Amino acid sequence: MAFDSRITMKVLVGVALLLQCCVNHSTVVTVELCPLATDGLLDAALEESITLTCFTKSKDSSSQRELLWFRNGQRVNLAEENRMSPSSICVDPVTKDDNGAVFSCQLKGDASLNGSVELNVQCKYSDDPPELNDTREVSVEETNDVKLSCDVLANPPVAVVWKKDGKILDLTSGSYTSTNDGITAQLKISKAKHGVHQGTYACETNSKVYGMLSRTFQVTVKDRVIGFPLGPTIAGVVVVAATIVLALISRWERIAKVSQHLYCFKRN
């Protein structure tokens, strides 16, 4: 009898677990994409249009469930007829601002049932069309600083190399500083010298997707022009003028005091 009770208890526990599993997983929210996402990432190109579709799966195929859409955590307003499963949203056209944007869909009333996808926007350079295949004239006076800039915004990112007169530039020199924030690559030349820094510079970018592009800078270092020190001169003129005015005022006061004691003869 005890043996039968243990068997009955195991059966009841098994049935309870099975029912719990069915309750928890009877409804599953998934996000269907075209094309399908890979590891949660959906590749997209600039200016194209993509549609994301979210639907529920449950044992009761006849039941419709309301869905909520979010972009980077912000609720997306849906038309009333587009709130029930299946629900779709469209990104048209895809822009650079959509890169890294996370679109998620969840079951209304149960945020644990959800699906999401992140957009990976493959974009060319920030200029449209790209303007890296050009040459720019740059003039700088000796001992002044100069900055050379290239737009390098691209996805996937591009490798950047600086060259001078056709050779890779040695950036370890104290007079060169290179920066790249993924949007702009910049080369700073500190205290330019005619015999050292004058020449042809090039910003070269290389990518398997976009190939090689470059921007050329023809840098000319001019002799330093000693300008007229306008500021100090104006200050000197002001000081001199103020001194003269004060001197005249002082002298006028003395003349006025003397004239008060003079006796004037009146003629008939």
CATH number at residue 206: 2.60.40.10
Residue 90 lies in a domain: yes
More confident residue, 104 or 6: 104
Residue 263 lies in a domain: no
Residue 152 lies in a domain: yes
Residue 242 lies in a domain: no
pLDDT of residue 35: 54
Indicate if 87 and 143 belong to the same structural domain: no
Nearest CA among 204, 225, 113, 99 for reference residue 155? 99
Indicate if 182 and 115 belong to the same structural domain: no
Cα(77)–Cα(70) distance, integer angstroms: 9
pLDDT of residue 148: 93
Indicate if 29 and 114 belong to the same structural domain: yes
Which residue, 93, 122, 151, sits at the end of a domain?
Answer: 122
Average pLDDT over residues 234-241: 73
Indicate if 33 and 117 belong to the same structural domain: yes
Weakest mean pLDDT among 80-84, 129-133, 166-170, 249-253? 129-133
Residue 185 lies in a domain: yes
Indicate if 103 and 154 belong to the same structural domain: no
Give the chain's domain count.
Answer: 2
More confident residue, 258 or 170: 170
Cα(24)–Cα(116) distance, integer angstroms: 20
pLDDT of residue 152: 85
Indicate if 108 and 163 belong to the same structural domain: no
Average pLDDT over residues 206-232: 79
**Token pair 């790209």: residue:** 130
Indicate if 34 and 105 belong to the same structural domain: yes
pLDDT of residue 113: 83
Nearest CA among 81, 82, 198 for reference residue 144? 198
Length of the chain: 268
Which residue, 222, 238, 262, sits at the end of a domain?
Answer: 222
Indicate if 114 and 29 belong to the same structural domain: yes
Indicate if 99 and 56 belong to the same structural domain: yes
Cα(251)–Cα(254) distance, integer angstroms: 5
Indicate if 33 and 100 belong to the same structural domain: yes
Indicate if 154 and 76 belong to the same structural domain: no
Residue 3 lies in a domain: no
Residue 155 lies in a domain: yes
Which residue, 97, 122, 147, sits at the end of a domain?
Answer: 122
pLDDT band at 217 (very low <50, low <70, confident <90, very high): very high
Domain that holds residue 65: 25-122
Residue 149 lies in a domain: yes
